[in-house]
Chains A and B, each alone.
Chain A
Amino acid sequence: MTIKVGIDGYGQRGNVFKQRLTLTENLKNLYDLVGVYDSNPNVRDEISRDDSSFTVFKSHKEMFENVDLVINCTSTEAHYKTTSSALKVGKDVLLEKPSTLHWKQDLKLKKLSEDGGNLVAVGYVEPFNPAILYMVKNIDPKSINLVLIMRYGPMPAHRKGDSRTIPIFHHMI
């Protein structure tokens, strides 16, 4: 049975998830992207004009009524509020990294998840990176003097103005 998905927040990351879910063959068999929601009405109008292949929900409530899983791609500041709303109505959530900006909010989400029997996964991709998996398997940590991880390219447009700490750390820790 396919999992009915809604994407909350249709910025850069929301768009990446939409592409993966609709274009990747083995994911199309696993998921059914029902629709997206964005708090910005202009973005909602734009999606409605450009893509009629899925629903553009008018509210969180409408999205929650129609999906099993919420992929939360809202801003980090909004993560706690939007994820807790989804958990309170019994939805599973994939929460984009970093989960929240305050660890006590993570614990509250964990409690909500346990109380309601819903899953909250956090979208850290590096544990799935084949190069990282290869290194973990093959390198003796004692033989390494220094590990330097850096972003070679320019900062993506949606990250301009951010502190360097958040975008780099939440990918690499």
Chain B
Amino acid sequence: MNFWLKKEPQLIYATEDEQHGFVRLKYDSLDAYLHAERISGSGFRHRTAIVYGTQNYWELDLASQKVIIGGPSETGTIDPNIYSLLSWKHQMKLSENIETPITSIEKKEPLEQLLVTLGESIQKRKILQPLRSISESTVTTKIIEEACRMTEKNKSKKYQS
């Protein structure tokens, strides 16, 4: 899948401590604070997925189990795509910057789930989904290889020019 950004988003670290971090993201007219969570021993890991529409975004914040809908502060409009995406499913009354809890997202640690599935796979002598086998990983390796090759190629072009 290809996608383009008109320009790089600007990230500003607002606060950071051992347990929680908040990061300010500015992109065009979007200006939002995003949540992040520090997991002990494994660095500063994001726990938030952001999906952009044409004017708005929404994010799933696993730490607080909330959907946060944000929009350009200048217009306060809701992108119709985002509206149609969420309103039928959660029957939410949408307005600017509302917060609605999602109770259906379970708080499960991914690595722990991976290890449980691995244990079951070993006992059954078969890789169980969604655990990835080495043959499935080949696709990812090919993509990374290609991305690395293109990055190197672009670097060479930059230095030549």
Contact = CB atoms under 8 A, between A and B. Distances in A.
The 3 residue pairs across chains A and B that have the minimum distance between CB atoms? A153-B44, A156-B43, A127-B130
Interface residues of B, number: 73
A106 B134 contact: yes
A98 B41 contact: no
A89 interface: no
Nearest to B61: A131
A116 to B, nearest CB: 12
Contacts, number: 208
B141 A30 contact: no
Interface string A113-128: 1000101111111111
Contact of B137 (A26, A122, A143): A122
Given A27-B116, A103-B145, A148-B50, A110 B134 contact: yes
Interface residues of A, number: 69
Nearest to A113: B134
A63 interface: no
Interface in A69-106: 69, 92, 94-95, 97-103, 106
Interface of B: 3, 5, 9, 11, 13, 16, 21, 23, 34, 36, 38, 40-54, 60, 62, 81, 84-85, 89, 102, 104-108, 110-119, 121-122, 125-127, 129-145, 147-148, 151
A138 B34 CA distance: 22
B12 to A, nearest CB: 11
Contact of B145 (A101, A121, A134): A101
A30 B134 contact: no
Contacts of B45: 153
A130 interface: yes
Nearest to B11: A152
8 contacts: A97-B140, A106-B138, A110-B133, A121-B133, A122-B136, A131-B105, A144-B85, A150-B46
Nearest to A147: B51
A52 interface: no
Given A19-B41, A119-B127, A123-B114, A173 B151 contact: no
A135 B58 CA distance: 12
Contacts of A117: 125
A161 interface: no
Contacts of A154: 13, 44
Given A145-B81, A173-B140, A134 B60 contact: yes
Given A131-B105, A152-B21, A169-B147, A143 B114 contact: no
A49 interface: no
A157 B41 CA distance: 11
Given A119-B125, A122-B134, A153-B21, A128 B108 contact: yes
